[in-house]
Amino acid sequence: MLRKKSLFAAFATCALLLSACSGNANDSKSGSGGASPSASTGAAEKPGSIELRMAWWGSQERHDKTLAVIEMFEKENPNIKITAEYSGMDGYFDKLNTQIAAGNAPDLIQMGGNIKEYVDRNALLDLQPYVGSVIKLEDFDQSLIDEATYDGKYYGVTLGVSQTGLLFNASMFNKAGVPLPNGESWTFDDFKNSALQISQNLGKGFYGAYDLSGDNASLSTYLAAYGKELYRDGELKFDKQDIVNWFTLWDELRQAGAIVPAEVQVANPPDAVDKSLTVKGQVAIQSASASQIFGYQDLTEDQLGLLPNPAGPAGNGMSPPISGQFITSYEGTKHPEEVAKFMDFMVNDPEAAAILGSTRGVPPSAKIRDVLSAQSTPVDKILYDYISLATKLSTGNGFEHFPFDNEFIKLLKVTSEKVAFGASSIDAASEEFMTEMQKLLAKAQ
């Protein structure tokens, strides 16, 4: 049980910091965390002091709350200073790759599903020596630990349990007179019908869905719903016709005016929370990581919700909930024990967890989840219920990331835009996509 006085102080700290950081509300913009450039480029440490650098991407809400937790940690550990290097998703890994190549990467690095790529590059620190003594994982499901374990070495602490899915605007469904989908049973035909009805009933400037043809999570679950996979055991588990079918599905909706036109989507990307047309009540469905619902709901009076991806002949196609993000360490850090100490603080300190909430997903520690559930909001309930539903619907087959995950994501997005803007036919774009995927596969091998 948290002491009331202590928890109040934690939230007061958070509130002060939120006020100080409120000037930048655009997720795509980077921040300095208030430190001078020299502080993040190896300035000499004072005797007895330890300076760490931490990099992450995310929304402004995530930035503010992470900064608040860093401040809490520094107050409890006055000999440790953590310089923040945060940004939007765009360019995050390009910058990190440059830093790694120069031997100047941050001590603490937020990672996603591409963690193995950096393990294979020997860029990440093995945390196994600190498990049990510094990093406590007793309340973590073993699957979350296994996701970051390779050849007996442990490289990343799960920051949040996540699941991809569809964020929907329930208020738009109601205005259009379209029944809300039943997440347990809805199919791709249901999805297409809902998108068509919403766009037709609400008229010009309103759309049933964003164009998700360039969304990697949506493609992966689509393939699984049709009995295929993106990748496993060193091989692609789909063929050109699967990609042709995928782009054809979205092109039919595009021609019917049921999804966002390419030029409108580029100007209002769904992953930029403050630009999302779902938040603005103009688009009913978009893709999202489940935990992102908080940031979106904060910006609209409309009621938002979460849905699993539609089912196909082979079922829903969703994998079990996974580690949404990890906190890792650069292999070249000079302060591995202090790095491990902060990692443990992020996931196991109740006051830190109360501030972070679900900004990176459902907390991985069972004890922390128990603490937060007692303070749950209606949006918390939507998230927790969705994670439970996704677990129930998942195929149980797991999911194996493509080795060059970032390159795949970029390739799919570029290919999608070529089709959407009419710069390439579906057949030619699909052929090019398969050729480039084979090149990436050969590079991985």
Residue 57: band (very low, low, confident or very high) from pLDDT cuts 50, 70, 90: very high
What's the pLDDT at 44?
46
What's the pLDDT at 428?
98
**Integer Cα distance of 203 and 163 in angstroms:** 32
Q: What is the DSSP letter of 310?
A: P
Alpha helices in 258-377 (DSSP H): 262-267, 293-297, 336-348, 350-356, 366-373
What's the pLDDT at 19?
35
What's the pLDDT at 48?
62
pLDDT higher than 70, residue 308: yes
Mean pLDDT value across residues 331-359 = 95
Q: pTM of the predicted model, to two decimals?
A: 0.66
Q: Is the dihedral of CA 156, 390, 285, 171 positive or negative?
A: negative
Mean pLDDT value across residues 194-221 = 97
What's the pLDDT at 319?
78
pLDDT digits (tens, 9 = 90+) for 392-406: 887 655 667 788 888
Q: Which residue has the higher pLDDT, 46 or 443?
A: 443
3-class secondary-structure state, position 191? helix
Mean pLDDT value across residues 304-309 = 96
What's the pLDDT at 46?
53
278, 296 contact by CB (below 8 A):
yes
E strands along 69-186, which residues?
80-87, 108-111, 149-150, 153-154, 157-162, 164-169
pLDDT digits (tens, 9 = 90+) for 109-124: 999 989 999 999 999 9
pLDDT-wise least confident of 41-45, 50-54, 272-276: 41-45
Mean pLDDT value across residues 192-212 = 98
